[in-house]
Structure 1
């Protein structure tokens, strides 16, 4: 009997220790708003109530003491529940002892989700006008003789972007825009407290004459505002093909521009001490004016894989760099691809992976769901809670 009753007491202590740190518990909610480490008194009260609620009145009457302590140490919460009790025993009565003392303790730990600022860096340069799937690519080639839709403003006949949409062709930029809007729903779904996650959205520029980091949505925890702003994200426009030699994708310059925008990196332990993430979605193809080029160069135009050194500057500052690589599709029937891209095509993926913080890289090819890849990586960054006992 004494063994059974101690087991019941231990089960109650385990349930209280774990329950006090459940995702929607008072302890977690209070910890997420605490400006510093320390005891969580509301959690202590909750754990005590949970412990007693697991026990029948007969066992409650046998308790001598109950000790509860829930504390926060940076991003880790720890709950300790211990007890002592006197359990009646007929067997011990023969030696004049009517009860035996029992005791036990349970401990649980919980790793809180961090406070994070996400800086979405979305490639909207002309190569993101590629059809989103093989079927979309085939439709573009059949109607326009090219796998890409062009946002050209010089001559109406050169602007195949709207014509492609009239044919219900979905482009990579469309998928990226829709997926980013979907991520705003994830923020509201996964947050434990208001202001836990904030998001800003940037592109590589509106048009060929205004290249550079372009704010689409300012940093905010209001995901409705982000969702509305991202509606305006579209393919970068250019006057015509080969305008400014098509040198419209300069990763080094764009990363250098976003670095001061991201600002100081924190631990993620509080709303004023936030982790920072740059979330890049791109095919990784540099197309810029460079004197030294690791890919193919004609005059000053350099086409090459992204240089991981540009990402290293961010990572050295403590910023996490998450990368969704939208596969640069081989076009073996295209002379330009064969002559200019094929020689270094095999280096595109490794360079994008090297750009990412280890563990935060994912590839999405045309027949794979780019939106799903973005969501998978985004949720990994938000880091689902871990509970151990």
Structure 2
């Protein structure tokens, strides 16, 4: 009988549901608590990762690229802390912020460690769940640049700027140049009937051009340089960098000053622009005489001497990064023909009254020396205009004219040569070349 009761009890399954449910509740509660705590950790980790991203990006933002790496690290730390403090249920020490600077390139790394307070600490057997994260951001700043504008203001740059202007000058100077007329607005302080036959008394061709409203190439170049200062100002603001500019002219070395400082290097680009606008053609005393007492046979363009003097003016360039010496750009605008006194000449030598005059493409031997110092050279070639009716051109320039452009191009840094012909827009050409030069410097220093 007892055996039957015991056997029946063992066969009775009605109370097992409660037992099984009770046993199942343990892992269910554990899984639920773990899921909630894990979801909380994921949420907090995403927000702290976002804070780390913001901090790293702040350290390489344009506004901070001009600050030191230490200053950038401080800002990054503050950005992370400000965003992390808004997250409840998480504790963390100050993040580890590393900001490294390599020239113009900067990399910021933000690393943090944190713990999330668990909702069910007894389930997992721990009060908090640890986690960590890292964010990295990189950027390159535009370089700070010193720009040296070297402008040719020798007499040949006083040619009329357009074909129409050239024809106007030729038409109104029928008694000059053996009856062929003169397209140049040469500037003389003491013109006479021998130099400028047919002009009103006391008028040189410079004044004649003004009376005819003929604009010269050098006037366009001066205007273009002034306009360039506005472009430079805009680019500096766009790149969050600093530009300084100096303006210089070159012509004859006979006065002992082959290089004239129109405006020394200045961060006031507007001031440099105003100075550039005043640039005009060299004024000589009369034909073949640079002063009342100095006869130089119109040897009024000495590029090599000017380049040597310019090389001394330009300091040693730096990386261009904030706090370091700026990079340097030498920007040359010229028609590329020398007329100077020298014992060595690659082309034409003229001798008159004991004066030896060399007419040739520019002596560019110093270009390599300047480029080897890390200074970029940009060359704007205002093409020497062929004048088939002009005896001087036919006899002395025509034979090497095809070499003028290539010669100047070999002086320029790679990709920084631009040629502009008569009737072309010098302002547009100068702006294009300048922007290319700035981008070239930026790209070179950031790599």
Superposed pair shares fold, TM > 0.5: yes
1:197 and 2:243 correspond = yes
Tell me the residue number matched to 1:22: 61
The 3 A distance-change label for structure 1 pair 284 and 114 is same
- Identify the match of residue 155 of structure 1 among 183, 191, 195: 191
Aligned-residue offset at 1:209: 5.3
Root-mean-square deviation (Å): 3.9
Question: Is the counterpart of residue 297 in structure 1 residue 326 in structure 2?
Answer: no
Deviations 1:185-226 (A, max 9, x none): 334334469993322211125997565211111222223432
Mapping for residues 330-349 of structure 1, pairs under 5 Å: 330-349=386-405
Rounded to whole Å, the distance in 2 between the matches of 1:240 and 1:51 is 73
- Residue in structure 1 matched with residue 276 of structure 2 by the alignment: 230
**TM-score under structure 2 length normalisation:** 0.70
**TM-score of the pair, normalised by structure 1:** 0.79
Aligned to 2:182: 146
Instruction: Report what 2:158 is aligned to.
Output: 129
Structure 2: 5+ residue runs without aligned partners? Answer: 1-38, 118-122, 174-180, 193-198, 290-295
Shift in Å at residue 249 of structure 1?
Answer: 0.6
Decide whether the 8 Å contact of 1:207 with 1:238 is kept in 2.
no
Instruction: Give CA-to-partner distance per residue, 1:258-289, whole Å, 9 cap, x none.
Output: 22222333333355623333221111111112
**Unaligned ranges ≥5, structure 1:** 32-38, 89-93
* Corresponding residue of 2:411: 355
State the shift of 1:340 in Å.
1.6
SS of corresponding position for 1:322 = strand
Whose RCO is larger (CA < 8 A, sep 6+)?
1
Once the two structures are superposed, what CA deviation does each residue of 1:322-379 show, in whole Å capped at 9, x if it has no partner? Answer: 2111111222343332322121111101110111122322222223322222223333
- 1:110–1:385 Cα contact (<8 Å) kept: no
Specify the structure having the higher radius of gyration (Cα). Answer: 2
Partners of 2:228 and 2:110 lie apart in 1 by 39
Q: Distance in 1 between matches of 2:401 and 2:388?
A: 12
Matches within 5 A, 1:1-389: 14=53, 16-23=55-62, 25=63, 27-31=64-68, 39-41=69-71, 43-47=72-76, 67-82=96-111, 105-144=134-173, 145-155=181-191, 157=199, 159-191=204-236, 196-205=242-251, 212-243=258-289, 244-270=296-322, 273-299=325-351, 300-383=356-439
> In the TM superposition, what is the alpha-carbon distance from 1:105 to its structure 2 partner?
3.9
How many residues are treated as equivalent by the alignment? Answer: 375
